[in-house]
Amino acid sequence: MLTYLIKQSRRLLLAAALASVVTGVCSVLLVAQINATLTALPAERSTLAWTFAGVAVLAMLSQMVSSVLFERLSQRAHAEMRRFISSRVIGADYRRLEEIGAAKVQSALSEHSTRVAEFFVSAPTILVNAVIVVGCLFYMAWLSWQVFAAAMVVIGLGSMGYHLAHLRAITHLDTASKEQDHLFGHFRSLVEGAKELRLNRDKRRMFSDEVLGRSIETVRHQRTVGMSIFVISGSWGNFLIYAFIGLVLFVLVGDVPDRVRVMTGFALVFLYMVTPLESLLLNLPRANLARASADRIDEITKDMPSAEAHGAPLPELEMGSIVLKGVRHRYYHEVSDDMFSLGPIDLAFEPGQITFLVGGNGSGKTSLAKLLAGLYVPEEGHILFNGVPVVHETRDRYRQAFSAIFSDFHLFDRLLDASSPEADARGNRLIERLHLQHKVQVRDGAFTTQALSQGQRKRLALVVACLEDRPFLLFDEWAADQDPVFKEVFYGEVLPELKAMGKTVLVISHDDRYFHLADRLVRMENGQVMSVESPIGAHSNRHPQVKLAS
C-alpha cells in the first residue's frame, strides 16, 4: 500500500522531502551560528548577524514549503487509497466479498486509510527532526571526537532501549488494529439491530457490555499499552541526554583547546536536540500505526482479486435462452454448520417465461439465483447464454442482462444509469401507479427521500428495475413485505406485463395462492431441483393494469 502511494506521488514526495531536509540543515546551521557568536570577537559579529538572518529566513521558507507539500501529499494519499480500495471492492468476486464482510471494508476505507494519510502529515516533522539530530551529531564530531564517542555510546544505549520497546509496542498496536475491524461490525449492529436491542433488555445489556464494550475496551487497552511503551522509551532517551550534558560539563571536557567553545557547543547542541529527538520518538509511533494500517489494507485488498475486466460499454443484450448444465456450487451453511452443496442443476430459461422458484428456507433458492445472475461462479458445469458458455472474460457482460431485487437489496439514492428528464418522468409515472407519489419523487435522477418502510423501499426498487429495462428480472421474496393490495398488483399485474414485454422472470416466492400465474414451478430441496411443474391456469390470460413500459 505504501509503495503504491509513493509511486502515485513520487515527484511531490521528493520535493516535500527535499524542503524538509533544507529545513533541518538550516536549523543545525542556526545552532552552529549561535555557538560561534557566543565566543566570537566583536569585529566578526556583523558578518555572523547577516549569515544568521539569511539562514533563519531560508529555514522559515523551506518549512512552509515542506508543510504545504506534505499536506497536499496527505490529502492525495487519502483520496488515492479510497479510490484504490473502492475499485478493488467494485471489481472483486461477489462471493469473496461476502466472505470478507462489510466491516473490514468499512474499516479500511475509514480508520486505516485515515491513519496512513495522517502519517504523511507527520512525515515532515519526522524528517526535519531526523535531519536535525543527524546534523547535530556531525557538529559534535567536528567539535571533539573524544566527547562525540561518549555521546554515541549514550545515544546507542537509548536507541537499543527504544528498539526493544518498539518491538513490544508494535505487537499491541497490531492487535488493536485487528480488533478495530470487529468493532466496526459491532457499530453496524448498533444501528441495524436497534429494534431488537430495544425489545430485549437482556440482549441489549449483553451486547452493550460483553460485545461492544469488550471490543472497545480491547482497542483502548492495546493502543494505550502500545503508545505508553513508546512514551516511556522516549522519556528514557531524554534522561540519557541530560545525563550526558552533566558528563560533558563536569567530567568529560578537561583542559583542551577552546574548552569554553567545546563545552558550550555540546551543551547547546544537546539542549537543542532534546525537543527534536523527543518529537521524533513520539512521532515514530504514527509511522508504525500507518504501517500496521497499510498492512491491514493490503491484507484486505489482496483477498479481492478482480473477478473480470470491465471493458467499454457494449450495446444492449438481445435475450435468448439461458441454460444451466450440471451447475454445482458449495458454500458454508450456518444452520447445519457444514459445507452445503448446490446442484447439479439443469435448467433452461426462455424469453417471455415466468418461473417461480419455491422451497423451504435453506434449500438453496437464493444461491441458485445468484449463480444464475452471474454473482457466483459455478465450481462445476456451465451456464450457456444464447448457446455460448459464460466464461471468466464474458461473465460481467453476461450479468448486464439481469435486474434483480434480492431480499437484502440495497436502494441507491439516485438513478445511476438512467438519469434524464425522460427517465424522471417515467419513474414518477411508475411511482404513482405503485401509490408512492405522496412519499417520494424522482428529481434530476435522484429520489427526494429514502425515509420509507421496507415495503415501500421494495416498491421503489421495482421502479428502478423497470427503468433499467433488462431482459431478465429476478425477484427474491419481493412480495414478502407487501400488504395484500400490492401483492395482488405484483402477481396479478406486474408479472403479466413483464411477460407481455418478452421479459424472462424468475420469482422466489412462498405465496402458493399465486403459483398458478407461473409458466412453471421449480421446487428445490437441500440444494437439489426436485421437480419442474406446469401449474394449472399458468397460461390463462389476464389483462394487466399497470403498464410498466409506458
Q: Which helix (H) or strand (E) covers residue 403, if one does?
A: strand 402-405
Interval 16-60: pLDDT, tens: 888 888 888 888 888 778 877 877 777 777 888 888 889 889 988
- Where helices occur in 248-364 by DSSP H, the ranges are 259-302
Measured torsion, CA atoms of residues 206, 211, 216, 219, in degrees rounded to the nearest 10: 150
pLDDT above 90 for 105: no
Cell of 519: 409458466
User: With contact defined as beta carbons under 8 Å apart, do 366 and 531 qualify?
Assistant: no
Q: How many CB atoms lie within 10 A of CB 6?
A: 13
What does the alpha-carbon distance between residue 99 and residue 421 come to, in Å, rounded to a whole number?
40
User: With contact defined as beta carbons under 8 Å apart, do 17 and 67 qualify?
Assistant: no
- 140-147: average pLDDT: 76
SS3 356: strand
Structure-model confidence comparison of residues 59 and 308, the more confident one: 59
* Residues linked to residue 473 through DSSP beta bridges, in sequence order: 403, 505
pLDDT above 90 for 475: yes
Pick from 168, 166, 183, 171: which is nearest to 218 by CA?
Answer: 183
pLDDT of residue 496: 93
Query: Measuring CA to CA, how many Å separate 467 from each of 279, 420, 461?
Result: 59, 11, 10
**Cβ contacts of 336 within 8 Å, gap of 6 or more:** none
State the sign of the Cα–Cα–Cα–Cα dihedral 58, 63, 66, 67: negative
Confidence at 84, pLDDT banded by 50, 70, 90: confident
Kindly list the domain boundaries of the chain, sorted by start residue. 2-302, 322-533
Task: Label residue 4 exposed, middle or buried (CB < 10 Å: 0-12, 13-18, 19+).
Answer: middle
> What average pLDDT does the chain have?
81
What does the alpha-carbon distance between residue 367 and residue 376 come to, in Å, rounded to a whole number?
8
Q: Which residue has the cell 405484483?
A: 490
- 87-113: average pLDDT: 81
Query: Beta strand 528-533 with 520-525: parallel, antiparallel or unpaired?
Result: antiparallel
Structure-model confidence comparison of residues 201 and 2, the more confident one: 201
* Domain 2-302 in CATH 1.20.1540.10: no
Cell of 460: 421503489
What does the alpha-carbon distance between residue 132 and residue 272 come to, in Å, rounded to a whole number?
9
- 225-234: average pLDDT: 81
User: With contact defined as beta carbons under 8 Å apart, do 482 and 318 qualify?
Assistant: no
Confidence at 311, pLDDT banded by 50, 70, 90: very low
pLDDT of residue 316: 54
User: With contact defined as beta carbons under 8 Å apart, do 260 and 31 qualify?
Assistant: no
The secondary structure of residue 319, as a DSSP letter, is P
- 475-483: average pLDDT: 89
Interval 380-397: pLDDT, tens: 999 999 989 999 888 888
Highest mean pLDDT among 249-263, 468-482, 528-542: 468-482
Confidence at 193, pLDDT banded by 50, 70, 90: confident
Question: Which residue type does 145 have?
Answer: W
What does the alpha-carbon distance between residue 40 and residue 406 come to, in Å, rounded to a whole number?
83
pLDDT of residue 2: 65
Within 13 Å, how many C-alpha atoms sit on residue 94's CB side?
12
pLDDT above 70 for 68: yes
What does the alpha-carbon distance between residue 211 and residue 238 come to, in Å, rounded to a whole number?
41
Name the CATH superfamily housing domain 322-533.
P-loop containing nucleotide triphosphate hydrolases (3.40.50.300)
Backbone angles phi, psi at 549, to 5 degrees: -90, -5
User: With contact defined as beta carbons under 8 Å apart, do 527 and 327 qualify?
Assistant: no
Question: Which residue type does 370 have?
Answer: K
Query: How far is Cα of residue 367 from the mean position of the Cα atoms in its chain?
Result: 26
- 452-461: average pLDDT: 90
Pick from 158, 296, 175: which is nearest to 227 by CA?
Answer: 175
SS3 437: coil
pLDDT of residue 76: 80
pLDDT above 70 for 1: no
Cell of 129: 527532526
pLDDT of residue 332: 66
**Cβ contacts of 104 within 8 Å, gap of 6 or more:** 181, 184, 300
pLDDT of residue 538: 52
The secondary structure of residue 316, as a DSSP letter, is P
pLDDT of residue 77: 77
pLDDT of residue 543: 40
pLDDT above 90 for 277: no
What does the alpha-carbon distance between residue 165 and residue 226 come to, in Å, rounded to a whole number?
9
Query: Beta strand 504-508 with 354-359: parallel, antiparallel or unpaired?
Result: parallel
Percent of all residues in the chain with a pLDDT value above 90, rounded to a whole number: 20
What does the alpha-carbon distance between residue 206 and residue 222 come to, in Å, rounded to a whole number?
22
Q: Do domains 2-302 and 322-533 have the same CATH topology?
A: no
Confidence at 96, pLDDT banded by 50, 70, 90: confident
pLDDT of residue 281: 67
Length, in residues, of the chain: 550
